[in-house]
Amino acid sequence: MEDKTSVAQREILLALGNAMKLATSLGVTLTVAFVVRFWMPRFLGPEAFGMLHFAEQFAAAFFVLGTLGAETYIRKEVATRPEHATEFFGSLVLIRLGLSVLIMLGMAAILQTMGKEPLEWRLVYIFAAGQVLFVTNTSLASMLQANGTVGVLATTSAASKILWGGAIVGGLMLGYGLEVVAFTFLATEAIKVPVLYWSAHRSLNLRLRLNTGATFAILTASLPYFINYVSHHLYQKVDVSMISGLTSDVEVGWYGAAVNVTFAIYLLLPVLDAVVLPMGSRIAKESTEALHETMRGAVRIIMIVTMPMAALLALNAEDVVSLLYTTAYRPTVMSLQIMSTLVPVTYICVMSSSHLIQLGRIWTVTKISLFGLAVNPALNALLIPLFWKWLGDGGAGIAAASTTVFTEILVAILFFISLGRLGFDRQIGVLLLRLALACGAVAAVHPLLAPLGNFRGPVEIVLYGILGVTFGALPLRDMVTTFKTVLAERRAMKDRVNEPS
């Protein structure tokens, strides 16, 4: 029988392998996203892009309800019971279809109240149809991630993203209008459904069966996951709808341009979520202490990667906006500077919530997310019209960005308090101080490097690398040692598999 350390090491290696497959797919996704999501605002202009961004986020916010909280449950439970997926998936799809009709009726009532134009109605409902399929694909992907069989998923995600990008650029340049963006989303999600179902059928022997008893049982078990998911994702998406309702689509366009930049950084979140939760479930089954150390280690890695990214993005936001967009997006700069600070906080919140879920404390996570949902819209309702009036162009985005950062910091603090020393130890505290010193030093030098123009950013990256190693914020020796250990363990695992029995 394997000891607990061996189990943890094996699961970490499996997680790293799956992360590499998903990261390769992510590389393609990231490249296409960079090209298309930064090209669209330039091509369309702030107002048209604002309409498009509103429609996409409005539909996505409503269909957060359509998830029914099943994804987190799937990643946690199917990781240890693959056959369980067949017991509920068929009925889950049927229930979601019925719920989708109710969601679309609710969307109509809100759009009517907001007085939106016919074009925005069409965009919203095409995106909504795509969301019905997107939610199904997310469940299928969660099953494959939980089972550790992500090869087809990675390939399909990359291929569909290439198709998505090509169709959008071609359609807009040929003059087919904003609807082509929404139709492309719908079409690519429709293509993915049969491919991912086939992969899940092959890997987990997934079958479509109606089993209402089992499905209602998992929906009951998923209730805290559902409340948590809805709470957290709604307050991350509701800001766009509030800006649109309280100000104008141009303000949405400026804010959406800032969101697009951070969106590229947040593409790593699905990889983390897909890998860490199933890995943690299997490690926790053998040793809770190994789980705690694994999760604390993951938080340290996230801090090392995301804190300098956030600092460098905030310092160079003006250059980034001028490089990616046109002068019409100048009001985007301040929103981007504020939102960049959100990057490490959001990643840490995701890891901390996963840690609590592994410990069976999903209701703690849910209560904290509900707190965030209560704070965020209330502050947005107060600050968006005030900042728009006081600051003028871009003021609504500054209000929304500030509110989101403030809310997420509060949520992160509550997560750390809930975990105590299980989630925050001396190593994390020391690393945080070292990272702050390195980032602060780069910020102090930033004004002096202004004569370098567009070369200032690359020079600051090199400077941070030197300071990071000097202050111990970038532990190169530990990283090299860990990398060598992982390679050695992977070779040893292959040798054991190939040994004759």
Report pLDDT for 485: 53
Report pLDDT for 7: 45
Query: Closest by alpha carbon to 455, among 323, 285, 362, 341?
Result: 323
DSSP SS3 for 394: coil
Report pLDDT for 9: 46
In a domain, 144, yes or no: yes
In a domain, 485, yes or no: no
In a domain, 437, yes or no: no
User: For the chain, which residues score pLDDT lower than 70?
Assistant: 1-31, 150, 264-287, 476-501
In a domain, 434, yes or no: no
Q: How far apart are CA 419 and CA 292, in angstroms?
A: 10
Report pLDDT for 424: 81
In a domain, 349, yes or no: yes
3-state helix vs strand vs coil in the chain, percent to 5: 90, 0, 10
Q: Which helix (H) or strand (E) holds 228?
A: helix 212-246
* Domains in the chain, number: 1
The 3-class SS string of 140-203 reads HHHHHHHHCCCHHHHHHHHHHHHHHHHHHHHHHHCCCCCHHHHHHHHHHHHHHHHHHHHHHHHH
In a domain, 463, yes or no: no
Contacts of 110 (CB under 8 A, 6+ apart): none
In a domain, 462, yes or no: no
Report pLDDT for 331: 94
In a domain, 440, yes or no: no
Which residues form the domain of 20? 4-424
Report pLDDT for 406: 94
Which amino acid would we find at residue 359? L
Query: Closest by alpha carbon to 25, among 181, 174, 152?
Result: 152
This prediction has a pTM of 0.79
Report pLDDT for 274: 54
Contacts of 57 (CB under 8 A, 6+ apart): 237, 240, 241
Contacts of 141 (CB under 8 A, 6+ apart): 153, 196, 274
DSSP SS3 for 96: helix
